[in-house]
Amino acid sequence: MPPSLATKAATLHDVAREAGVSLITASRALGNPSLVSEKTIERVQKAVEATGYIPNLLAGGLKSRRSLLVVGLVPAISVAQFLPTVQALTEALDAAGYQLILGQSGYDHAREEKLLNTMISRRPDGIVVTGLVHSPVARERLRRAGIPVVETWDLSDHPVDMLVGFSHLKVGSAIAGYFLGKGWQRLGIATGDDHRASVRREGFLATVGREVPTAVVPAPSSLALGRLALAELLEKDPATEAVYCSSDQLAQGVLVEAQARGLRIPQDLAVCGFGDADFAAHMQPSLTTVHVDGAAIGRLAAQLIVERCRGQTVAQPVVDVGFRIVERQSTGGPSVKTGPMPPKGS
Amino acid sequence: MPPSLATKAATLHDVAREAGVSLITASRALGNPSLVSEKTIERVQKAVEATGYIPNLLAGGLKSRRSLLVVGLVPAISVAQFLPTVQALTEALDAAGYQLILGQSGYDHAREEKLLNTMISRRPDGIVVTGLVHSPVARERLRRAGIPVVETWDLSDHPVDMLVGFSHLKVGSAIAGYFLGKGWQRLGIATGDDHRASVRREGFLATVGREVPTAVVPAPSSLALGRLALAELLEKDPATEAVYCSSDQLAQGVLVEAQARGLRIPQDLAVCGFGDADFAAHMQPSLTTVHVDGAAIGRLAAQLIVERCRGQTVAQPVVDVGFRIVERQSTGGPSVKTGPMPPKGS
DNA sequence: CTGTTAGCGCATTCAC
DNA sequence: GTGAATGCGCTAACAG
């Protein structure tokens, strides 16, 4: 940027002078027009154009104590699962005049604490966390800060503040029930090593009622790791009939590896994923999986934050959005060809 | 949040009193320790712990004119292609003490302008855009604002400021050259309708030297749209030998649809994608595609911004990171089984 | 409807 | 090394 062009930005002061009104009148004309006459508003708006004024939210936020900033924390941006949530969150917040600051908390408590501190120093009007806040120090700090917090994608008896999620224990249990209902006995689990996946596994085991061969892969999971996982499972039990995978990416890898080994799906091996990624319905064979409305989670989280910021009392601070098993060909579901589809909205 | 807990947050003033020093000494102890004696620093740090002080960056930024905020603009968060860039950008900025504000510019100029205005009002220390800034109004405004800007994932003779990218024209041309070198004559294109994909198509056509049957799908592309696209291409020319797809997601759909129709890959149909998504190497057959180092783009963009903010002159404000074609089985590349892989770092 | 006064919390500029 | 004063740009509270 040639420094010559970087002339000092116009301030509200300049606008007020240009419009021939006082500072505060200019401020109101822009931020609270109902208090100002139409004529003045017009003059101020003209002055804004003339000066090229762009408001300074830092200064405004300092006085008004509303930063119009919301912090969003994800374990890592590349975790596809949370993308619809982040996208919907960003959109819903934007519509209400808020922007999202993104942070990657990793899978590490120390980092989570440090990051939250940094973020709180921005005085955000709200914080949305994917998953629960695990570090006790961080939980306490958030409570102290008095900032509206929404934990998501999980359920807890003791949320920091508000929560939009569902029970991973029930998900695991539901999948196990589904497998048992199909009469499959020789089961396998391919799972990531993160907290939520572990809870799903617990639910799965609780319903099965005994140990099940398991391949654990480091998060974030991927197609490549799925291939590896199936290899491991077949080594443990070559006659495995059905595998539950903690993500659709993992399940895709399991399918690829199974096909590479000449196994027929689902006759020789049934597979169930988690997440209902956009490709799940359109693979060949299509993938049975667990659908969670990630976009709804984002929208609801935004709504809770905004309501709080407006001083409204939130009727339902803990929302369970539930989930549902979507049965497709990989577990012998309906073999109707799903076929090419129009693009999804958004 | 029980309002009872939301006691007024401690300010630097409180810390100073607690430590028995003046305001400014406390400020320096935290932000510029080299100017303060060790003893005082210790006392201030104790006072910070005692009061639970968390600095207010809004206030600091107002005076110092450094917000430590960088804006990142993507067309949409769900575009998988940019994920490694956003992730690396977030990480590299975080390491330098900056946070990222995320914005979704969509594929619409009016929205791009409005969003940039909103973002500039945060007085960010830098702006990173995926793609070029297209709206002339926005370009001018950015120049005026005097904020360091990095455009990415593209090349331009007239960047707003700095740029890290590569030539999509050359990518298209390279793929066409690769196809022609293989002796394939009956070609097809499955492409998204966004700007960069269109330029790749241009490059492809320029090298082929004639029109080629094309299926255009609305961005963002997906596996489902890829199936649809192949159906359309085969209708136009049932004897199509090779298809270039503007994304790996699209290519995956083309492969699925081809296999559903009993076509052998690559004997009956060769397929090349773009992006080298994490699944490309591990599909069956593995996918020939164009590799771009998205993470490097993010890291370099962060570096440029940070250098500028530190007042250093940037040696190379325009960086071409290049690309390379990765030949795999879908175009008859080496049939070594890529097999399961360890997780990628990051 | 409009204006005046007084800060928001901190960092820069000068003094000592 | 430390400190006192000043103001970043804006808005909340009170006047008129």
Residue A7 pLDDT exceeds 80: no
- Work out the pLDDT band at A336, boundaries 50, 70, 90: low
Q: Are B125 and B67 in contact (CB under 8 A)?
A: yes
Q: What is the pLDDT of residues A273-332, one digit of tens each?
A: 999 999 999 888 999 999 999 999 999 999 999 999 998 899 999 999 999 999 999 999
Residue A102 has φ and ψ, to the nearest 5°, of -100, 135
Q: State the Cα–Cα distance between residues B245 and A112, nearest whole angstrom.
A: 40
Looking at chain B, which residue has its C-alpha nearest residue A69?
B101
For chain A, the average pLDDT equals 92
Predicted pLDDT of residue A56 = 95
Token digits of residue A208: 């099965």
Residue among A240, A154, A179, A169 nearest A206 (CA): A169
CA–CA min distance B128, chain A (Å): 14
Indicate yes or no: CB of A256 within 8 angstroms of CB of B84.
no
A246 CB-near residues (< 8 Å, 6+ apart): A189, A190, A191, A192, A197, A200, A201, A221, A274
- Work out the pLDDT band at A339, boundaries 50, 70, 90: very low
Q: Are A221 and A247 in contact (CB under 8 A)?
A: yes
Q: What is the pLDDT of residues A184-196, one digit of tens each?
A: 999 999 999 999 9
Q: State the Cα–Cα distance between residues B8 and A145, nearest whole angstrom.
A: 9
Integer CA distances (angstroms), B308 to A13, A242, B147, B150, B270, in order: 29, 56, 9, 11, 46
Q: State the Cα–Cα distance between residues B20 and A117, nearest whole angstrom.
A: 25
- Picking from A5, A223, A225, the nearest residue to B143 by CB comes out as A5
CA of B11 to C1' of D9 (A): 20
Interface of A with B in 141-200 (CB under 8 A): 141, 143-149, 161
Sign, CA dihedral A219-A224-A230-A235, equals negative
Q: What is the pLDDT of residues A225-270, one digit of tens each?
A: 999 999 999 999 999 999 999 999 999 999 999 999 999 999 999 9
Residue closest to sugar C1' of D3 by CA: B22
Indicate yes or no: CB of B84 within 8 angstroms of CB of A99.
no
Strand pairing category for A126-130 and A162-165? unpaired
- Most B CBs within 10 Å: which of A51, A77, A158, as the mutation test of the B interface? A77
Indicate yes or no: CB of B67 within 8 angstroms of CB of A86.
no
Which bases on strand D have an atom closer than 7 Å to a protein beta carbon?
1-5, 7-13
Predicted pLDDT of residue A108 = 83
Q: What is the pLDDT of residues A17-42, one digit of tens each?
A: 999 999 999 999 999 999 999 999 99
Q: Is B30 on the interface with A (CB under 8 A)?
A: no
Looking at chain A, which residue has its C-alpha nearest residue B148?
A1
Predicted pLDDT of residue B252 = 96
pTM, whole model, 2 decimals?
0.92
In this structure, the dihedral spanned by the alpha carbons of residues A227, A228, A230 and A236, taken in order and rounded to 10 degrees, is 170
Profile chain B (346 residues) by mean pLDDT over runs of 10 residues.
55 93 93 91 94 93 93 93 96 96 89 93 96 92 92 97 98 98 98 96 98 96 96 98 98 96 97 96 94 98 96 93 98 67 40
Predicted pLDDT of residue B7 = 58
Q: Domains for chain A: give ranges and CATH numbers.
A: 9-55 (1.10.260.40), 68-166+294-321 (3.40.50.2300), 168-291 (3.40.50.2300)
